[in-house]
Chain A
């Protein structure tokens, strides 16, 4: 069963094509990392999939709900079964509620019968917070602790899908690693499907089974994370992998893999959006927008030359 089934989804804001023809599938219990640089449309796509930002066209089915044109009851079910963890944990927790109230609020909103509720202590235990945090206010929590409360709130309703937008943004290395470990353990123990939205390829490579790489509103490559990162079929994916600063002084990169910065989504380049920065661009790339090609082994890439790149790895 798919928890997300999106077909040719577009989300346009006036002239800005933030999401421009995305087709995506996430199976129940699977984890997908959605990666892109700022302005790639990854956050807009995640919000569109959850029905928080209306799509301009296409079909979306999330957690069994047809998102576009869903009625009140269907939206309520969607907002129960698909949960979003926000980027800034302090901004997403009401400063006036104590942690115990924050954790039981979802139950009150969705009128969950007592038998189906986790206790506050159980929820705190799930996210590895000591029980005495129940009496604290958000301002008394560190960034990592607030993030855990946000995660506990999201899983309280036992959703089918968890969406996390930059779950470790703003956290120190040690707090970030604890949150990543926690999310990895929870999603596998509870059998949650998990969509992680991030700019950090290493986080996705660590946390997800599958990866989807976005560039200017389009998914340029998707597939099993290890296969895609070890042997990218799209030159943009390859550039992202090469640009990652490896924490190993013995493996220094020769120089930046690409020049320039992503162009404005207001005025995207013709043909393949990546062609002005692509070292391999041909005349065809300048005029003809590549359709996602099925490469087998559960992989797709939107590059005219993707099959060649699988045969002769990009260097």
Chain B
């Protein structure tokens, strides 16, 4: 199927009333969780994951994808109006967005954030559409060694780009890999780490692990913070930016598109890094850098475009190779696997309805988001006034029922609560659970690829360096390790000198 017929087929799919409905539900929930601090897209997706089992695969993936890119839109609203980022990728929007609101320009700030997001989101979908097919065709030549090396590289980049300590991120990856080993071994059918418990033979449930680590633990952590927020008292008017605003914003928007898309492909939270880098670039090339932090519209336009372009870029490795770029997309991969769909090089040819349906839903979803975020801004502002002490019990109930609905089993709820406690302790000790979830999902894939490679080569590890793609991936992974080690050595040396 060529791109033109593919996209027509996609629109035919998305225009089915049920898919249109789930697309709207996805972007609505995405905006909602973006606006409400205390629950992110990972938490929301993990809560909705079990509930999506009962709906058709294409509809559930359209809905879950909508939550992912919708959250990037909603996050800017709180950054601009409350100075609290709804999402990590909107942190940088606070710097100038809130200052614009303080100066009575909340409307243009929200407007440029929404239009920048629309342009960034649409650009990334177009780029995704054109780049994923050639990559998937190339990936058809990949064997187990290539897959193993690419997964290793993904996990290493994830560690490299993780916030906080490199060692702690590495430990999280390793723990995720161990959790991924639980269950019956796919080659020998030997039960591993199941301790005679039949419910562990199928492995740890993704829904329970993710909901615990992200939903429950986040609610527990928020109990320690102030439960009340003060909303900046301003009338939101003139949402459409003026010509002067557009002139200043066009450059940052264009650069944000490119930066966001390219960084989004990289594993490890592309949208977050893209927004920070976009802000840095804009400030650096600006003729008036002193305006940044004082309410410069470029400081809103660039990062908001970049984080949306980044969210689209992340779909490329997922759809072409079956390797997710971050924890949210890892959940999407988990959802596909649960629905019996294996993403990878043959995904587009075997499941054109899902692929093209999701692509078309992203076009439509981006427009829905602008409509949701601009004319309905008053609704979101009102929602911001809902205190967290009302939201928290509801979030917890959604997690509990989400876990229960997987198998109508109390044990799933208990497992989820235990993972909630684990997630809370990990976060208190500055361990990020996102790499754990990524490794948990990629672990079984990497193990299968590793064992198949060794069987193919009769036990020779040279198979990983004899094949060019695998060798290049491992070389980049080694360079990353060396670079991290070198910067760590320099940091330690500097600390010793200071002491």
**Real binding pair:** no
Residues of B participating in the A interface, judged by any CB pair closer than 8 Å: none
